[in-house]
Each structure stands twice: as structure tokens, then as C-alpha cells.
Amino acid sequence: RSSFRYCETDIMFLPCLQIKLYHPQQSCKGFYGHLPLGTRRRHTADDPLRLGRDTEACAYILLDPRVSHKQLALYAYHIPQSSEMLFTIQNLSQRGKLSVNTSALGYLERMDLPDKANCCDVVTLEFKLAETNLPSLYPVDIKKNSDHNMITATFKVF
């Protein structure tokens, strides 16, 4: 399970989640072409944040024919008598396994994201799309990290 402390923003304190996204051919395929790089977005905590090719159902679109229409979903929740925001990830793809750190998730399998992080050294996950099977990724405040050819995504829940 992952719990996240509140981050100070320009206006208020907000829970946030940061994820690193990786695709072996991301630089040549335009894989992240529909992700809103350099912009901020809000997403309500009562609606799962979905990632995939389906422009109607997914908040973030991935440009790769191997990615499922709905690849993965992130859910935010609280436990009773706690103000901490927790996150769960679910694989929505029948075509491949989603790798979160060293754990693989099959179709409709979920897992809580790792424990305790704060805004400065936020939990980092890598979703790897192998050449033959396809897990995936997702974001809210997105920046390209040229050092490792990865995308860093910060998720804020309102």
C-alpha cells in the first residue's frame, strides 16, 4: 500500500504520486505523443485514472497499437480514521502483464502501491513495455527526463 504526504503547491496542500514511465522505443515511435507534456491537470479521486488507447475511457492516451484500449487504472482511497491518500493500481489488459517495480500483474489483478513517500522523494514506479507483451503507464504533471529517456509524471488528487 502506498501512502503519500501532502505537498505544498502555489495554492494549497495536495496529495501527489509520481511515476516514471518507460517504453523501450519511446523516442522513435511517438509513444507519448498524446500525453499533455508540461501541463497540469486535475483528476477527481472518486474516478479511477485510466491509461490506454481508448480516447473516450482513458484520461491519458498511449500511442502504440500493442497497448490495450484500457491498459491500467489507478485508484485513490482513504482508510478509516486516516487522512493519508493511498493508491492501488490495476491491470486492465488481457494481452500482457503490467510490471510494477518487480511485481507482475495479470488481467484484472490489483496491488497497492509501495509504502510511504513524500513530495520530494516520491514513490517511483517503472512500467515496462516489453517487445512481445505490453504493460503500460500514465500521468498529470508530465516532464521528459533526458538522462534516462523516461517520462516523469506527478499525479495530484483533488
> Is the separation of the CB atoms in 32 and 132 below 8 Å?
no
Q: Over the stretch 7-49, which tens digit does the pLDDT of each residue have?
A: 444 444 455 666 666 665 556 556 666 776 666 667 777 888 8
Every domain of the chain and the residues it spans = 2-156
> Is the separation of the CB atoms in 89 and 110 below 8 Å?
yes
Cell numbers describing residue 105? 500483474
Which fold is adopted by the domain 2-156?
Tumour Suppressor Smad4 (2.60.200)
pTM for this model (two decimals): 0.63
